[in-house]
Chain A
């Protein structure tokens, strides 16, 4: 497991030796320790079945870890009183891999759902919802029911629902899996915009094209373990440092606290990318 944990004094999310299993099954996630610093942007990748969705479930409070500690904004989630969980959940927007739209509600009502559960009046938010829907290209589908939409359209509804409440954390599970490259770019730009406004973002994806587009750390799950590859700019700084002083290179790597093997695998992954 990568070290370098816990540099931010109060990250929005902190995992400490977290393990997770379903029922009596094998441990799917093992010894995860990492921070999601405030306002950070990261990708999460890994082969199918590696546990990406499971890890995200832990972050959006749909599952409890079987061991270890997860804290949000410096508070241990396991000891949070039940009454405080709804507020915490409202600060986390989620794009589910399978969308989870409510088929009996219109596109507009689906997107408005996170605002509605807070007890706000429709007249309060109707304009904002409509504007957001227009922005994701669904301005003329507001009264449609989800089953009548294409996969890509449903995905955009799911994304609109996740961001409409201006959450502090945005979790997206394969958010561009069903849209063409152009719409994928457009959605990615939406995430980047939100990130600039301070939203902490985690995007799980198989799409390396997408990953390459942004200079962000990449969390990779395999065999239950997590590897974190720092953003390209940071790696370049290290490489330059190594070139500048070959003898100090090792120290620099050690200081960053990342095992050499990690960096190698990251470099391999990059072959032919740039």
Chain B
């Protein structure tokens, strides 16, 4: 028994917490799916914001003057005059008077083509483009433009699109809030799933916990074991989920179709923010899993003496 000089076995120490593949695989799958959905929700929220940004800047960058037909006045002449007046105002880059055909083409979707008598008086539109600097400073005085038109005796009304821009912005905000709430819900679900799994894994490994606890291991030592394990698990699920989300959004943006999906997903070619988001997702998943596992383990250990 004591004949040979004892030599400790070479190699490192065995893992105190053995991997638990039977339990880990479904958890990995669920977490990966949650991360995938969270990524899509985040990309959607981001996409809605970018779209709204583009649309409102279009709407805010222009005005529309509607010239009404009055008595025997020549509406096209009035429209041309209105465009001229608009061009004369500071902050206006250009103004274009549209003709009767343009008005008819706008009505065609509702009334069909050729269904209107030629002598039916129609209002004409003047499109006014604003300087970028003017838009940034809050647009031009609509009232001043209206006054000029009134003074020229033109029956016209100026529309600065603010009603539409407001509606688009509200819709975008709603989509964004929805996306972010979805994100929060998914994060909550992920945390709950991990806490549940951590408790299950704790129960399955109660022999290890008991042995460590009675050997004098501190709570944080034991919690650390579970925390590290679930961090790795969350990280791996996160990578899987984020990669799939990236693939899906790349496919959508490459094919540019179906269009209603592309509406929610970003244009892939210029998207540093989206890349950052997808890159950060695994880390966030890992942290969520680690924190959630730690809380579960610590609360269990607190129940012991």
Footprint of B on A, CB under 8 Å? Answer: 60-64, 82-83, 85-91, 94, 100, 102-106, 108-109, 112-114, 116-119, 122, 126-127, 129-131, 133-135, 137, 139, 142-143, 165
Contact = CB atoms under 8 A, between A and B. Distances in A.
Contacts of B208: 102
B207 interface: yes
B57 to A, nearest CB: 59
Main secondary structure of the interface of B (DSSP, over half): loop
Interface size class of B (residues with CB under 8 A): 20 to 34
Nearest to B5: A134
Contacts of A114: 215-216
Interface stretch (B10-18, B40-48, B89-97, B285-293): B10-18
A130 B216 contact: no
Contacts of B110: none
Given A62-B305, A117-B212, A117-B221, A100 B207 contact: yes
B215 A117 contact: yes
Contacts of B217: 86, 117
B9 interface: yes
B14 A139 contact: no
Interface of B: 1-2, 4, 6-9, 12-16, 18, 207-208, 210-219, 221, 305
Contact of B216 (A64, A87, A106, A143): A87
Contacts of A134: 1-2, 4, 6
10 contacts: A62-B214, A91-B216, A105-B14, A105-B16, A113-B215, A116-B13, A117-B218, A118-B216, A129-B8, A142-B9
A133 B211 contact: no
Given A86-B218, A130-B6, A139 B1 contact: yes
A104 B13 CA distance: 12
Given A63-B305, A90-B216, A134-B2, A102 B211 contact: yes
Contacts, number: 85
A109 B14 contact: yes
Contact of B215 (A89, A137, A139): A89
A61 B8 CA distance: 31
Contacts of A87: 216
B8 A94 contact: no
A133 B7 CA distance: 10
Contacts of B305: 61-64, 85
Contacts of A126: 8
Given A90-B216, A117-B217, A131-B6, A122 B1 contact: no
Given A104-B18, A117-B217, A130-B8, 13 more contacts: A64-B305, A86-B217, A86-B218, A87-B216, A108-B8, A112-B13, A113-B215, A122-B13, A134-B6, A135-B2, A139-B6, A142-B9, A165-B215
Contact of B207 (A63, A83, A102, A119): A102
A64, A83, A106, A116: most-surrounded residue (chain B CB, <10 A) = A116
A83 B16 CA distance: 22
Contacts of A91: 216
A82 B207 CA distance: 21
A122 B214 CA distance: 20
A137 B1 contact: yes
Contacts of A104: 14-15, 18
A252 B128 CA distance: 119
Given A64-B305, A106-B14, A113 B9 contact: no
A137 B215 CA distance: 23
B165 to A, nearest CB: 60
Contacts of A127: 6, 8
A139 B4 contact: yes
B9, B13, B15, B214: most-surrounded residue (chain A CB, <10 A) = B214
A106 B2 CA distance: 20
A54 B6 CA distance: 37
Contacts of B216: 86-91, 114, 117-118
A87, A104, A165: most-surrounded residue (chain B CB, <10 A) = A104
Contacts of A61: 214, 305
